[in-house]
Amino acid sequence: MENQQLKTVSNMSSEWANWERELIRKNSLHNTGDIIQPSSFQEFGIQLVADIMDGSKYANNKVVEEIFDQMVKSGQPLEGPWHEFHPFIFSAAMSTSNDYCQKNLVALVIALAKFPGRQAITNPSKDEVNISKAESLFSDLTGFGMMAREYWNGPGLLLHAYGSHEAAQKAWVNLHRFMAHLSCAQMRDPTDSLDEWVEDFGLWAIAEGLEDQEGVKEWAEAAAAWLLIAGRDIYNDPTWGRRDGNKAPGVPLRDGPLWDCRLANGATQESRWEFWKFRLQELTKQAADAAVRNSAQHALEAMKRHESPA
C-alpha cells in the first residue's frame, strides 16, 4: 500500500512538472509570439521541485547549495533566476492537496529560509558577493506569506493558468493548505524570516470565508483548510496572527462584517473560535457547494478535537 501511495505521489509530481513546462511554453507564445522551451535553469528548478515534492530528493543544505550553484551558472544577476525559481514552489503546492507532497515543499522553504550561507558553501573560491546576495534572497522568504497575499487575492487570479473556475478553485484551496502546513512548521521550528506573514495570510482567509457572507463561495473552503491543519496552533496561541495587533485576549483582529456585528452586540474576542464553529456548522447545512459542506464538516470535527488535550 505504501509503495502504491509513493508511486501515486511520483506520478503527481511528474504531471505537475510537465504542466509547468507547458505553461512556460504557452506564456512565451503569448508574450513573444514564439514557443520557447524552458531555460536550463527553469528546467533545473522544475525537476528539483518535482523531486522534492515526491520525496526522491530531500530538502537540506546540500540542495540549497545546489540551487545557489545553478543560479550562479545561469549567468544572470541572482535576482533573475531566484524570481524564476520560487514561484515553482507555489505552483507545485497548488497542484496537489496531498499532505506528504506539501510537507516536503514546506521542508524546502524552511531549508531556504535557514540557509547558513558561507558555512554551507563547500567551495571557498565561490564569489563572496554572490554568496551574500543569495543569503539575502533566500532569507527574503520573509516574503512567503506576503508574496502569497500580493500574488493571489482569490481564485479568479488563477484562471489564466488553470483555465476553469473549478480548477482555479482547487488550486486556491491547495495554496492555503500549503500555507497552513508552513504555518505549523514555523510554529515548531521558528524561522525569523517567515515571521507572522504566513499566519496573517491564514487569518485573512478565515475572516473572508467565515465572517463575510460574500466570501463564502471563494474563501470558505480555504478557511476550513486552515482550521483543519493549523487549528490546534490557533486554538492554543492567543496571539496567533499577531501581525495585525492583538486588541484583546483571544485570536487577534482581522474581522469580517459578521464578526464585527457580534462584537458590537457584546461578544468578546475569546468567543471568536466558537463563532467560527457556529459558522462552519451553518455551512455544513446551507452551503450550495458540496466541497464547501464537506470541508466545513471536517474542519468542525477537527476543531472539536483541538479543544481536547493533545
**Per-residue pLDDT reduced to its tens digit, 229-276:** 999 999 998 778 776 666 666 777 788 999 999 999 999 888 999 999
Note whether residue 185 is domain-resident: no
Q: What is the pLDDT of residue 95?
A: 95
The CA-atom distances, in angstroms, between 160 and each of 18, 76, 155, 165 are 17, 28, 10, 10
Mean pLDDT of the chain: 86
Whether residues 208 and 157 fall in one domain: no
Note whether residue 186 is domain-resident: no
Note whether residue 189 is domain-resident: no
The residue type at 208: E
The residue type at 53: M
Whether residues 145 and 72 fall in one domain: yes
Q: What is the pLDDT of residue 179?
A: 94
Whether residues 37 and 140 fall in one domain: yes
Note whether residue 74 is domain-resident: yes
Range of weakest confidence among 13-27, 39-53, 121-135, 262-276: 121-135
Note whether residue 174 is domain-resident: no
Note whether residue 183 is domain-resident: no
Whether residues 202 and 103 fall in one domain: no
In angstroms and rounded to an integer, the radius of gyration of the C-alpha atoms of the chain is 20
Per the model's pLDDT, the better-predicted residue between 57 and 120 turns out to be: 57
Whether residues 205 and 289 fall in one domain: yes
In this prediction, residue 228 has a pLDDT band, given cuts at 50, 70 and 90, of very high
Whether residues 34 and 136 fall in one domain: yes
Residue 211 belongs to domain spanning: 196-310
Overall number of domains in the chain: 2
Whether residues 113 and 239 fall in one domain: no
CA angle in degrees (0–180, nearest 5) for 135-176-300: 140
Whether residues 138 and 206 fall in one domain: no
Note whether residue 190 is domain-resident: no
The CA-atom distances, in angstroms, between 212 and each of 226, 234, 283 are 16, 20, 12
